[in-house]
Chain A
């Protein structure tokens, strides 16, 4: 099997149609036929997730569809990702991401993560229910361009402000851009707590990262 146009279309289609096993098979066959991992990523996996993003923006796809498509994407990404990393090519930028303390709703954060990885960003995922101090140490150690904070609950959204406040106290705020998102959050709230941007959904979060990560 060669890595021809037709097969990249098949790979893209398998992501859009949530066929994780098919994605895995196609990727393995492409690698066996000497297709480069970057090419598989750039011509098959990324366009697949971009199409999913388009369908989500147009309200054709909703969260269940995006979750299943993400699984299909990772079935391929988990194979080619390590091969790309081995060549240690510089990424487009580094993002530290996590759901703030007290909040365990991480579906939105996971979708943002997949969109960022699919677009070539290095993502340090701190997970959910992340204590403020953990965000601070990750910013200090990883030196990301972006810190992405998520909260789904009105009870936990103020913890985003706490993270930004401590970043300022530790003189780390000027080195990074902070973006926020989640159901109860809006543009005004983001401005009020001193964030640099608000992502209404995973795909606008990606656009923000692209805007802030110009190298």
Chain B
């Protein structure tokens, strides 16, 4: 078992590498049908293990799509051409893929030699999916009680889901894209997103596992607040600003999708000027990303010739 992530966290190593590769890219590599894979724990594990063996990165992340929990709580999804919420309420019955994720995480724990993380949604983003994102953003300013109701529901679900995951001894990455400062003000973050995130992070830390937090887009005005959350890893788009929490990122998703070899190498080298870093893409890599670009990123980080 190689755990470079923990070594970086414990200051025993400067860097580890993980381009944020999820099920969609790995399914695409294997020409598997994404919609089919995300409903089958064994297939989820198989494609993620394939990606890990192909690229040889330092952790594996069980990430399907952002709507797993929203679907389990009653939203209706469609998967083609891309996963999205079709309706806020399905009417009858819920599709619960969390058990498939648990199955996949269990298989991966056994099969791979690096730490396994499972991605869950931050309660703020989950609440926004349940309410409908535009409506949710409006009621942040006009209907505090309603917001709190959605948040309470989202948090209750996530605590129970998290407890099931922690029993597997897997690490957790919380993604909270709607809590980005590209969307809401630091004041609204503090008011609505902070406390539920803090609760989840405390639970993860209490279990002795690693808590990562991913926020997309603008994060600069949020960094002091994010530091207060005491996550172990902070995955953000712009890693230049100083943070107390170990940062993860450094290579733009656009660069990994369509940049030249030189551009990828330069971004990696720039990012590695940080004292300690989990070198990663700024967000999850698009499905159709050229594998050579990911290999360039990883090889450059490892100091190998490309």
Min Cβ gap A197→B in Å is 16
How many A-B pairs with Cβ below 8 Å? Answer: 76
Please state if B82 and A65 are interface contacts (CB–CB under 8 Å): no
Min Cβ gap B112→A in Å is 24
Q: Is residue B209 within 8 Å, beta carbon to beta carbon, of the partner chain?
A: no
Residue of A nearest to B253 (CB): A154
Chain A contact residue count (CB 8 A cutoff): 30
In the bound assembly, the distance between CA atoms of A68 and B184 in angstroms comes to 13
Please state if B254 and A188 are interface contacts (CB–CB under 8 Å): yes
Q: Which residues of chain B are near A110, meaning CB under 8 Å?
A: 134
Residue of B nearest to A18 (CB): B141
Please state if B82 and A155 are interface contacts (CB–CB under 8 Å): yes
Residue of B nearest to A186 (CB): B254
In the bound assembly, the distance between CA atoms of A153 and B84 in angstroms comes to 11
Min Cβ gap A15→B in Å is 15
Q: Is residue A104 within 8 Å, beta carbon to beta carbon, of the partner chain?
A: yes
Please state if B134 and A107 are interface contacts (CB–CB under 8 Å): yes
Please state if A185 and B134 are interface contacts (CB–CB under 8 Å): no
Please state if A154 and B252 are interface contacts (CB–CB under 8 Å): no
In the bound assembly, the distance between CA atoms of A110 and B181 in angstroms comes to 19
Q: Is residue B185 within 8 Å, beta carbon to beta carbon, of the partner chain?
A: yes
Given A155-B287, A188-B259, verify A107-B137 contact (CB < 8 Å).
yes
Per-residue CB proximity of B79-96 to A under 8 Å, as 1/0? 001101100000000000
Given A63-B183, A102-B81, A185-B254, verify A155-B286 contact (CB < 8 Å).
yes
In the bound assembly, the distance between CA atoms of A107 and B138 in angstroms comes to 11
Please state if B221 and A59 are interface contacts (CB–CB under 8 Å): yes
Per-residue CB proximity of B277-293 to A under 8 Å, as 1/0? 00000011111100000
Q: Is residue A125 within 8 Å, beta carbon to beta carbon, of the partner chain?
A: no
Residue of A nearest to B221 (CB): A59
Q: Which residues of chain A are near B188, meaning CB under 8 Å?
A: 62, 64
Q: Which residues of chain B are near A189, meaning CB under 8 Å?
A: 254, 257-258
Q: Is residue A119 within 8 Å, beta carbon to beta carbon, of the partner chain?
A: no
Q: Name the residue among A59, A71, A155, A193 with the largest chain B CB count within 10 angstroms.
A: A155
Q: 11 interchain pairs (CB within 8 A)?
A: A62-B181, A64-B188, A67-B137, A102-B81, A107-B133, A154-B284, A155-B24, A155-B82, A155-B286, A186-B252, A193-B258
Which residues from chain A sit less than 8 Å from chain B, CB to CB? 18, 59, 62-65, 67-68, 71, 101-105, 107, 110, 153-158, 183-186, 188-189, 192-193
Pairs A-B, 5 closest by C-beta atoms: A102-B82, A154-B286, A64-B137, A189-B254, A102-B81
